[in-house]
């Protein structure tokens, strides 16, 4: 199978090769180097600055299904330590980008550079002219696949990022503190999005952000948040141990995305890899008790197995597209997690109230 855009003699040609031998020809608008990773797709219509800087995409070649990309440019990115409201980390996290139509011309009041310029500076390859519809259909039918982008004769091997501990690569190295509120929240950084931190600070807490394997018994805190992050949750054994110890101390905790899967593993449940994951800003979920429906932002390739939840734990939210688990709660109500992103960025803010509910419980 070969999908090609119109050839441009002034642009470098490259191709995406999937592990089953399928290839898609494209035109480079990013950094020109061969890379390999896991090929996934996101169906969101906007929000590529936040999406491409989300650490949960570490090791992945991202396909954006909305045809036109780059038309509103990219804002100014300051330093890696800056808690931006425009980006979800201090770097581009994807391994490569695939789009159908790239617009080098851009217009937005806050834009400072083109999408292509941003990716070149970050040394991240990007191809346009890809038949993203055909590619997405293949991934939906076959499931997420390994792939590689090759320029000219620069051949490389396939690479499965889920075999590595990606969380270790994106977590911070030393604890960081923010805010000055009376309530002290510890945040395990498994690849934390900036807007999780911003959402907590907006609620007037003192926040201590710690590495993924930091010994929490050295800290005094009122509540624990476990962040999002990339890869297989079973790679984070040290984090799971810290969560179990926090539960034993009866300290309220709240997990988000990967943090949700880690809480489930700490509780004794199991996780499994989804066929092609949930990556978009329009995933409908329902809260089982209230029957309240939320439209949520999601980015994950693994899920919690409802059938393996211990007796003291129960499903909290369910995905209305495929009935997969989207949240769990302990019978005490003190330990809870969601698979989706209540901090959004990008996406709807329907679930932002979950931060309020968590902090109300911590402060009670």
The 10 Å Cβ neighbour count of residue 170 is 25
In whole angstroms, give the CA distance from residue 216 to residue 214: 6
Given 38, 88, 150, 343, the catalytic residue = 343
* 105 labelled catalytic: no
Q: d(Cα 151, Cα 156) in Å, to the nearest integer?
A: 10
Distance CA 253, CA 34 (A): 41
Interacting residues of 339 by C-beta distance below 8 A, sequence separation 6+: 257, 260, 261, 278, 298, 300, 303, 304, 317, 319, 324, 325, 326, 327
User: How does pLDDT run across 290-333, given as a tens digit for each residue?
Assistant: 999 999 999 999 999 999 999 999 999 999 999 999 999 999 99
Q: What is the pLDDT of residues 148-186, one digit of tens each?
A: 999 987 889 999 999 999 999 999 999 999 999 999 999
Q: Is 343 a known active-site residue?
A: yes
The 10s digit of each residue's pLDDT in 333-346 is 999 999 999 999 99
Which pLDDT score, from 0 to 100, does residue 79 have? 63
Are 248 and 266 in contact, with CB atoms under 8 Å apart?
A: no
C-alpha to C-alpha distances, 137 to 5, 63, 80, 302, 303, nearest whole angstrom: 18, 12, 36, 20, 21
pLDDT of the residue at 81: 63
**Is 166-363 a CATH 2.40.100.20 domain?**
no
pLDDT confidence tier of residue 6, bands split at 50, 70 and 90: very low
CATH topology of domain 13-162: Glucose Oxidase; domain 1 (3.50.30)
Identify the three-state secondary structure at position 335. Answer: strand
Catalytic-role residue among 260, 300, 330, 341: 341
Domain boundaries, the chain: 13-162, 166-363
Average pLDDT score over residue span 54-62: 98
pLDDT at 80: 59
The overall average pLDDT reported for the chain is 95
What is the rounded CA–CA span in Å between residue 324 and residue 24? 31
Q: Is 150 one of the catalytic residues? A: no
- pLDDT of 9 higher than 60: no
Question: Of the listed 257, 278, 326, 330, which one is catalytic?
Answer: 257
| Confidence label for 10 from pLDDT (cuts 50, 70 and 90) | low
Q: Is 33 helix (H, G, I), strand (E, B) or coil?
A: coil
């Amino acid at each position: 199978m070969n999908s090609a855009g119109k050839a441009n003699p002034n642009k470098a040609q490259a191709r995406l090769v999937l592990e089953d031998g399928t290839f898609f020809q494209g035109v480079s608008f990013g950094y020109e180097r061969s890379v390999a990773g896991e090929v996934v797709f996101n169906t969101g219509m906007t929000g590529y600055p936040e999406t491409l800087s989300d650490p949960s995409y570490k090791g992945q070649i991202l396909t954006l299904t909305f045809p036109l990309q780059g038309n509103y440019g990219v804002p100014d990115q300051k330093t890696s330590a800056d808690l931006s409201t425009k980006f979800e980390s201090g770097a581009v996290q994807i391994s490569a980008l695939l789009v159908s139509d790239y617009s080098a011309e851009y217009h937005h009041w806050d834009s400072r550079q083109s999408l292509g310029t941003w990716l070149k500076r970050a040394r991240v390859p990007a191809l346009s002219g890809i038949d993203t519809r055909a590619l997405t259909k293949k991934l939906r039918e076959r499931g997420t696949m390994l792939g590689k982008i090759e320029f000219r004769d620069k051949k490389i091997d396939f690479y499965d990022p889920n075999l590595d501990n990606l969380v270790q690569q994106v977590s911070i190295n030393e604890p960081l503190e923010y805010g000055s509120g009376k309530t002290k929240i510890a945040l395990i950084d498994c690849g934390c999005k900036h807007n999780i931190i911003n959402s907590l600070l907006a609620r007037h807490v003192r926040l201590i952000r710690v590495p993924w394997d930091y010994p929490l018994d050295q800290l005094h805190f009122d509540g624990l948040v476990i962040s999002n992050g990339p890869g297989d949750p079973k790679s984070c054994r040290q984090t799971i141990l810290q969560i179990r110890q926090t539960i034993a101390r009866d300290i309220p905790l709240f997990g988000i995305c990967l943090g949700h899967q880690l809480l489930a593993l700490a509780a004794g449940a199991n996780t499994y890899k989804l066929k092609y994951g949930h990556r978009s800003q329009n995933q409908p979920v329902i809260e089982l008790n209230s029957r309240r429906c939320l439209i949520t932002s999601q980015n994950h390739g693994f899920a919690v197995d409802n059938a393996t939840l211990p007796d003291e734990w129960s499903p909290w939210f369910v995905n209305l597209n495929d009935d997969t688990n989207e949240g769990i709660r302990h019978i005490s109500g003190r330990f809870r997690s969601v698979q989706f992103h209540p901090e959004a960025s990008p996406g709807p803010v329907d679930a932002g109230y979950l931060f309020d509910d968590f902090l109300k419980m911590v402060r009670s």
